[in-house]
Amino acid sequence: MRALLWPIQCHPTIRIVGRFPFSPELANSEYRHRTVALHQHFYSGSVRIGREQFALEPGDVTVTPPDAVSRYEIAKKGYHWCVHFQPVDVGVSGAMFRLPLHIPRAIAGETIPDEFRFLSDAIFQARNRRKGKPLYLSLASARLQSLLLRLGTRPNARAVAATPRSTLAVEAAKTYIDAHLCESLEVCQLALRSGLSPSYFAERFRERFRVTVDRYILQRRIEMARVALGSTMRSIKEIGADCGIPDPHYFNKQFRRITGESPSAFRSRERPS
């Protein structure tokens, strides 16, 4: 079995979530849980899940089915994020999808630790609040299901192996951009992270997404600004800074360039007085 069947529509019940140290001494044991375990590993080695053996590199994700025995071999100390959640009855759960037992970092993407942090914070809030506990539990459950669906729709390792490295690099860059829109994003730095020259990176990005890197960043930032302008009372200057464009005049100019109207005109239309 190289995949776990999981319902497309589900509200997982989280039992444990957090970041934990892991060492060769701790790895020298067999682990077996009644829950499903989702891990992201930050050490090198290998893991056996049931009868399947997988090599592990930092950033790899694994899914351990309930009651499956797992055993690790690692050489140096590291840590992993993990979330344990209740299994479901496959026979009565409706439409299902396949969740791979091992997902390499190149396929899983760069933002998975952010998902674990979100889940950990939500469960912490649920356990330390008298009011709002059901809300935080529901929020964590929905976020976990969304993560599982994302992992289930990732391409398989064979497909990724046949994909040019430059394509994987620009796709990873796009994911990084989406997660860091409020920060400084320079093409040269993005190219450096991708291991490509700036000119080749820009060329491959445009080929892959039909838009230049700078244009993509600007469009995503203006999308963020539109949401904030239409749903909050924060000042236009603050919203521009939140979206990575701290100069108010430049923000106004770029907002008008993308939308055809000023931020204030957009706000007055979206939030009529």
3-state secondary structure of 230: helix
Q: How confident is the model at residue 85 (pLDDT cuts 50, 70, 90)?
A: very high
Which neighbouring-strand residues pair with 42?
A: 79
Name the pTM for this structure.
0.62
What is the CATH topology of the domain spanning 215-270?
Arc Repressor Mutant, subunit A (1.10.10)
Domain 3-152: CATH superfamily, name plus number:
Jelly Rolls (2.60.120.10)
Over residues 31-67, the pLDDT tens digits come to: 988 999 999 999 999 999 999 999 999 999 999 999 9
Q: How high is the mean pLDDT of the chain?
A: 89
pLDDT at 119: 95
Report yes or no: 128 and 42 within 8 Å, Cβ to Cβ: no
Is residue 273 predicted with pLDDT exceeding 70? no
Task: Reduce the DSSP state of residue 211 to 3 states and report it.
Answer: coil
Q: Pick from 65, 50, 61: which is nearest to 6 by CA?
A: 65
Q: How confident is the model at residue 147 (pLDDT cuts 50, 70, 90)?
A: very high
Give the residue among 170, 248, 263 at the shortest CA–CA distance from 212. Answer: 170
Give the pLDDT of residue 41: 95
Q: What is the pLDDT of residue 231?
A: 80
Here the tokens at position 78 are 């590291």
Give the full edge-to-edge strand order of the sheet including 52-56.
30-32, 69-74, 45-49, 52-56
- Quick one: pLDDT band at residue 162, thresholds 50, 70, 90? low
Instruction: Please report the pLDDT score of residue 99 as a whole number.
Output: 92
- Whole-number Å distance between alpha carbons of 100 and 18: 21
Q: Tell whether the model's pLDDT for residue 120 goes beyond 90.
A: yes
Percent of the chain with pLDDT over 90: 64
Which residues neighbour 112 within 8 Å (Cβ) at sequence distance 6 or greater? 40, 59, 61, 81, 147
Structure tokens given for 53: 């053996």
Q: Where are the domains of the chain?
A: 3-152, 164-210, 215-270
C-beta of residue 36 within 8 angstroms of C-beta of residue 127: no
* 72 has pLDDT over 90: yes
Reported as a single tens digit per residue, the pLDDT across 232-260 is 888 999 999 999 999 999 999 999 999 99
